[in-house]
Amino acid sequence: MAPKKLAAGNWKMNGVTASLVELDALAARENGCDVLICPPATLITPAVAHAGEIAIGGQDCHANESGAHTGDISAAMLADAGASHVILGHSERRADHGETDAQVAAKAIAAHGAGLVTVICVGETEAERDGGDTLDVIASQLAGSVPDCATAANTVIAYEPVWAIGTGRTPNSEQIAEVHALMRDKLSGRFSDGADFSLLYGGSVKPGNAAEIFAIAHVDGALVGGASLKASDFGPIIDALAQA
């Protein structure tokens, strides 16, 4: 099978109940490709009621099913709340909470066990990009963060260069193409269905640059931050993907 086109929105620590009107607007559209919204955990259950055909996901989960982990949420809890996906290894989790590749892989195993699709994030810092280490960093993160139980059905990979997240800066087409080609090669070499994994690009994706990004080989969609908070911004990105 060919990789699925997926437009994923990460609301991060944004959104209250009133924000669900944006989901209503997205659900009322003819989106033409798969759409995922990952709101704060407090909104997952009500979001499902507003989402229609749109998938709802979490932004993180714990590797354990339960226990003395105050403030954490297990994969089983996300699934029970109505989530079908979960973002793991986002650069903000890696930077702010010190998450390692091994921890991301452990969380992915737990998520798959709970029936969730994982969106596993990889990406280099500005210093790593400037030092010429991008491809080595991405290869290492893929090897360490993606567990052996990953398949094209239960795993999506998102390339998010750390220096492009929320900055308004984006890599050029050649830089994105180089990383996505590497990811496809590494996944195809490791997994029998590696050619079918959906590969998303994330990092300052906007309506104005979406079509150019989606024209790049091995870019099957986007993981969008700020521009996913409003249907008026996210809708044109979804349309650009559907037309790619």
Decide: residue 208, CB within 10 A, 0-12 exposed, 13-18 middle, 19+ buried.
exposed
Domain boundaries of the chain, sorted by first residue = 6-10+32-243
3-state SS class at 17: helix
For position 166, what pLDDT does the model report? 78
Catalytic residue among 22, 160, 180, 218: 160
**Any idea of the CA torsion for 93, 100, 197, 39, to the nearest 10 degrees?**
-20
- The residues that bridge with 56 in the sheet, in sequence order, are 37
CA dist., res. 36 & res. 177, Å (int): 23
Q: How far apart are the first and last CA of the chain?
A: 17
What is the topology classification, in CATH, of domain 6-10+32-243?
TIM Barrel (3.20.20)
Q: What is the DSSP letter of 62?
A: B
Active-site choice (50, 62, 85, 90) = 90
What is the CA 192 to chain-centroid distance, rounded? 22
Active site residue 90: yes
Helix (H) or strand (E) holding 240: helix 231-243
Do residues 159 and 183 make contact, with C-beta atoms less than 8 angstroms apart? yes
pLDDT in tens, the chain (244 residues): 789 999 999 999 999 999 999 999 999 999 999 999 999 999 999 999 999 999 999 999 999 999 999 999 999 999 999 999 999 999 999 999 999 999 999 999 999 999 999 999 999 999 999 999 999 999 999 999 999 999 999 999 999 999 988 787 889 999 999 999 999 999 999 999 999 999 999 998 999 999 999 999 999 999 999 999 999 999 999 999 999 9
Task: Kindly state the DSSP code that residue 216 receives in the 8-state scheme.
Answer: S
Length of the chain: 244
Note the helical H segments in 85-230.
91-97, 101-113, 126-130, 134-145, 173-190, 210-214
Residue 160 falls in the annotated catalytic set: yes
* Residue 150: closest CA among 180, 193, 185: 193
